Amino acid sequence: MHPSAVSMPLLFLCFLDTFTSVVTTPTHFTGDVTINCGSIGTSTASNGREWIGDEKPEFSSLLQIEGSSTTSTVIHKLISADPVPHKTARISFSHFSYTFQLSPGQKILRLHFYPAPYKGFKRFKDLFTVEAGVFTLISNFSASLTAAALGVKSFSKEFCLSIEEHQTLDITFSPASSQVQDSTYAFINGIEIISVPMHLSYFKGGDLGAQVVGQKSLVYIDNSTALELIHRLNVKRDSVSSGDDFDDMLGMWATVPAQNGNEFNNLTWKRSVDVGFRYLVRIHFCELGLRMAETGGMTFKILINQMIVDTNTDIVKERDDNGSLWYRDYMVSMKGRKQEDRRDLLICLQSSDEFMDGHRLLKGFEIFKLSNPDNSLASPKALPPARDSPSWIIHNFVSGLGNRNAIATASITVIAVINIIVYKLRIIWEATFTEEENRPSARAERVCRRFSLAEIKSATRNFSDAFVIGKGGFGKVYKGHIDNGRETVAIKRLKSNSKQGKHEFLTEIETLSELRHINLVSLIGYCSERREMILVYEFMACGTLADHLYKLAKDNNNCSSITWKQRLNICIGAARGLDYLHTGHRVIHRDVKTSNILLDENFVAKVSDFGLAKPEDRSKLQSHISTKIKGTFGYFDPYYFSTHKLTRKSDTYAFGVVLLELLSGRPAMDPTLGEDECCLTKWAQNKINKGEIERIIASSLIEEISLDSLKVFLGVAERCLHDEPKERPTMAEVVLQLELALEKQQSRKFVAPEVIRSVANDVHSSNDETIPSVSTEQANVASTDMHTVGPPPVGGTTGEMENTDPPAGRKDGRKPKAYESLQRWARQVAFWNRVKPSKKEELVSKLVSEICEAEIKLSKFDLERIAAATNQFSSSNKIGEGGFGSVYKAMLPTGQTVAVKMFSFSTQGIDEFKHEILLVSNLQHRNIVKLLGYSIHGEGGILLYEFMENGSLDTFIFDEVQCHQLQWSLRFKIILGVARGVLYLHEGSRLRIIHRDLKPNSILLDTEMNPRISGFGIARTLGDGQSDTETRIIGTL
């Protein structure tokens, strides 16, 4: 036969074999995964289980290792530990990660640690964080110290996660940052990933959900939660497995020691757990014990934390007919102070009957910790409680040494080494504990970015003095660059040894995370790592107002003086910011001064430094807060200083001092001057009383200032500085008067000094007059029949929000993601009706993905949770309906009542949904309805708002009975609140929003009849500098 005749079939067979191998290559691990980290090939453990090495694995596409890491073998011989998977480890001084391609479903993730000496790595120097996807599993964790505390050589930590379709499992190991290079490291010996059968699911909480301990409600644990196994106990008298799949799958049950017969009637198990977390307790019942309970042969009750959660009657009533394996789930919250760190979780079984020997009612129980809202399972303390007390350890240590001198000398040496180790560990522990103490609330953490210390050092070149742009008693302020230099920020580093600084640090984060206003500085994030207290703000290119008034000139820096018109605009902006604090969030700043008023590149004023801010107590009717004196000399309100009673008018007084600084160009306190001149307010008021006003006006302003503008300005300044708080204007009134002063300045005239002197008499004569305000006598409310008409369908017109310029104050001109999504959406709406039906689903999917990509700081709810909260969207829960869909009243598992607004993803529905979620999520005002969360599913979207007990305004004013409840004082209160909300939309929010559908049924009323503006489905924004725009008519007739 010719050679070519043979080669062709052989070539075909080779090709066929290659093709087959490619086709049969799996896309994910199909069964359980066991990885022997740091080894090659397959190894068999003593229990017969096979482990795969992570070096050159068989299917490299299913397991990938990224980052800088190495493999290492234990230096010394293993002691009481199975060689597999404890003999080798993957270890590194820098972070590394594993990526697994897994089948979807619930997975048990088990991490094995053997903290032994490894070549090139010092023992007890392991300190690291482990993350799985978005979840932080452990943080600042030392396997060496944990093993020592537990009294074991090796151990494992077990977690439970849910893997979605086409989702990878990424496990990242990150050593803690250290000032010494190659000091701390991370390592792992073995990784197990076990699939959980659906009938044993932890996330669904059983078919009925998990019962909340102390309440009658149920809670459903969804797939967005991670769990950590705290304890799994077999309470049967024998330790022999029952042979069912539950025991076979987990295989890691602790056993309870035998107890005396007289103790069987009251069994209690105690486990120490972290405070501040929720815990899932799953109790497994024995089949024989349940049958005895059904026949009335056994009565019992189960208690968790001394509260009854079930009795034999309850168990029998809800018994699953087909279950030889039966369990009940309970949810318990472990509340406590941070100083407590840990508390005991108690599980008690009480009965009046004696349990049969060897056949108890309970088979076992499991305790799982649930991830918190920050997706973290990390303990406040990285180390578990020690197995025994220190005195017990010392006693056994000393007794084992004997009395020989050599041993005594050795013991002293060992003790000295231990003291050194303890000292080093104490530094690490204190840094860790300080970080937890300085940790803000969960809501603030969602809104604010948490920076690592390494990021901050990189941004400031390791806190180089060349980057310092300010300093004070609090510490230093640095100019920095984050995100690879794309954004310039101001980094405020507080002194770490200041106890007062800790309080101010948290106050600043908590306060600014609640605020959104164009005249308040924005907090980007914070860092609390290794005793540091660092705040990261948006960068203000023009520094502080104090810099431009007197600081730069004093330092002989070349700077041009700011004009009178600029000064008026600056104080108007600052006054608006303070008015937003007072009326929008009931917050008193307490430290208003020119150095706390920052200026961006356009000289837009932004109030900053909220470390001393104090929220008003809404539960009390009194208008003041009794508190210690805090603030800055020269700005103290005399009433607050003498009575310790803090009011909003204390800010007003301090702002009056700022107005005098703007006019005079000198600081509030100048110790270089004489006693009569060092205090600005005392000196200025003395000059005004003497008719020497020209003496207090900065020389650069004399030829520029308008006579009428000066008169109005001095009038409001004097009223702000009135000794009696009640006689001072509100900040809203201050804004009106300063705007009037600016208007008067537009017709600029030269003012001779002799004319300025005459202003003194005008100021005093008008000082007793009341600043113009709304006259209740002139107000007239007309009720008309109103027919609500939904917005017309979107046709082939231009988009509703085609102009979406970034808000004022953004330095780099880049638009935030929310704005970019709005702009893309506007272009798409124009051709929506021209899209074929087959393409609409694709377009909806694209729009939904844009919402997900936008930087929205909102909680995301799953549909099942919302359905349960609304009783499956029952008609009895429906409280409203519109063109967009229905509104339901719902009760969340946390006990919070919310309004659930449904959107059908029709053309109009998806438009309004996107409008509301992108706009309302960026608003924070007392008179704007608050958006709490959202959900997106195939057929539409859902928005969760705070629930308004009194419904909408139209139900009162258009109802013949309820309209009599609205007395004029209450009506005026509602009008004022709505006006404040609209003012915030137009001028205060960074978006500059026109509502376009303001009407009584879009004004909601809370329990105290405070108005909240809602219904932003057809709102639109104005660009920077834009006062109007052309668009088609849309709204309500």
Q: Between the CA atoms of 260, 266, 267 and 273, what dihedral angle is there, to the nearest 10 degrees?
A: -140
1011 burial level (CB within 10 Å; 0-12, 13-18, 19+): buried
Interatomic CA distance for residues 592 and 471, integer angstroms: 17
Q: Edge-to-edge strands of the sheet including 533-538?
A: 449-450, 523-527, 533-538, 487-494, 475-482, 468-472
- State the amino acid at position 624 in one-letter form: H
- For the purposes of burial, counting CB atoms within 10 Å of the CB of 582, is it exposed (0-12), middle (13-18) or buried (19 or more)? buried
Say how many C-beta atoms besides its own lie within 10 A of residue 104's C-beta: 13
- Catalytic residue of the set 126, 591, 600, 911: 591
Residue 591 annotated as catalytic:
yes
Cis before 85 (ω within 30): yes
Specify the residue for token string 């109009």.
908
Question: Which of 71, 74, 34 shows the shortest CA–CA distance to 55?
Answer: 71
- Retrieve residue 303's tokens: 């208690």
Instruction: State how far the Cα of 234 lies from the Cα of 226, in Å rounded to an integer.
Output: 23
Amino acid identity, residue 644?
H
| Integer Cα distance of 424 and 947 in angstroms | 52
Return the half-sphere exposure (C-beta side, CA atoms, 13 A cut-off) of residue 378.
24
Q: By the 8 A CB rule, do 940 and 905 touch?
A: yes
Secondary element (H or E) of residue 907:
helix 907-920
**Could you tell me the strand order of the sheet in which 88-92 lies?**
70-73, 88-92, 186-188
In whole angstroms, what is the distance from residue 91 CA to residue 690 CA? 79
- Please state, in angstroms and rounded to a whole number, the distance separating the CA atoms of residues 981 and 929: 10
Strands 227-234 and 254-255, by their bridges, are: parallel
Helices (H), 113-165: 143-150
Q: Which of 965, 966, 974, 980 is nearest to 1003 (CA)?
A: 974
DSSP structural state of residue 728? S
Give dist(CA 82, CA 697) in Å, integer. Answer: 85
- Residue 492, annotated as binding a ligand: yes
Contacts of 401 (CB under 8 A, 6+ apart): 407, 408, 410, 411
Q: Which helix (H) or strand (E) holds 915?
A: helix 907-920
Could you give the CA distance from residue 741 to residue 330 in angstroms, rounded to a whole number? Answer: 65
Enumerate the β-bridge partners of residue 901.
887, 943
How many Å apart are CA 591 and CA 632, to the nearest integer? 7
| CB of 64 closer than 8 Å to CB of 77 | no
CA distance 137 to 156: 13
- Exposed/middle/buried for residue 1028 (C-beta within 10 Å: 0-12, 13-18, 19+): exposed
- Record the tokens describing residue 318, joined without a space: 């809800």
Place of tokens 């949810």: 331
Binding-site residue numbers for ATP are 492, 901
Give the catalytic positions in this structure. 591
Binding-site residue numbers are 492, 901
